[in-house]
A and B are shown apart, each in its own frame.
Chain A
Amino acid sequence: NAGVTQTPKFQVLKTGQSMTLQCAQDMNHEYMSWYRQDPGMGLRLIHYSVGAGITDQGEVPNGYNVSRSTTEDFPLRLLSAAPSQTSVYFCASSVTGTNQPQHFGDGTRLSIL
């Protein structure tokens, strides 16, 4: 099993560009989520999904969209990149909710110029 796979690992964008961060898991987990990590801020939840076709907002959703058309994939879209979105982005999955360990991908390091 590959676990949680995130692509790309690194990306540099210009302000105003859009892009999609990919996340795929092969563990048949129902729950997937996206976090951003900034120095001194810990992990902040952007969006999450409790199953295919169901998504909801987290703590810092503005400027990001998600969709969950399959159990395996949970892409994160930046609509119009801003320097404030420079961060490390982690995708995570778990079997069932907050009573199960979260499995994290290796992260995407994103810089917005």
Chain B
Amino acid sequence: GQQVMQIPQYQHVQEGEDFTTYCNSSTTLSNIQWYKQRPGGHPVFLIQLVKSGEVKKQKRLTFQFGEAKKNSSLHITATQTTDVGTYFCAGPRYGGSQGNLIFGKGTKLSVKP
């Protein structure tokens, strides 16, 4: 069945280091979304990518959608303690109606001050 995989599962960095998480889908996606979940919190929408090869930036965060629309990445430059949390990617689940997303298992980021 359809799978969305994220690597790494965990990442520990020193504050100021860069961080990258990768998302790979078994199927071509019409769009991909990224969410951040702080410890004890709920997922919060960060961004959506739609176009092949699209790159979007939000301050220190850079999001990229692959040319084949099957993979994506999130890069954080110079991490801060406020970046701590789990980052999820999500794409449309085919065979279902709209509003039906399949999530990756997430990358949990910890930042040592």
Interface positions of A (Cβ within 8 A of B): 30-33, 35, 40-45, 48-50, 56, 58-59, 90, 92, 94, 96-99, 101-107
Contact = CB atoms under 8 A, between A and B. Distances in A.
Majority-rule SS of B interface residues: loop
Interface in B34-54: 35, 41-45, 48, 50
Interface in B83-113: 88, 90-93, 96-106
Q: Chain A: interface secondary structure?
A: strand
Given A102-B45, A104-B44, A96 B98 contact: yes
B43 A90 contact: yes
7 contacts: A48-B96, A56-B96, A97-B100, A98-B30, A98-B93, A99-B30, A102-B45
Contacts, number: 81
B33 A101 contact: yes
Contact of B98 (A32, A50, A90, A101): A50
B89 to A, nearest CB: 10
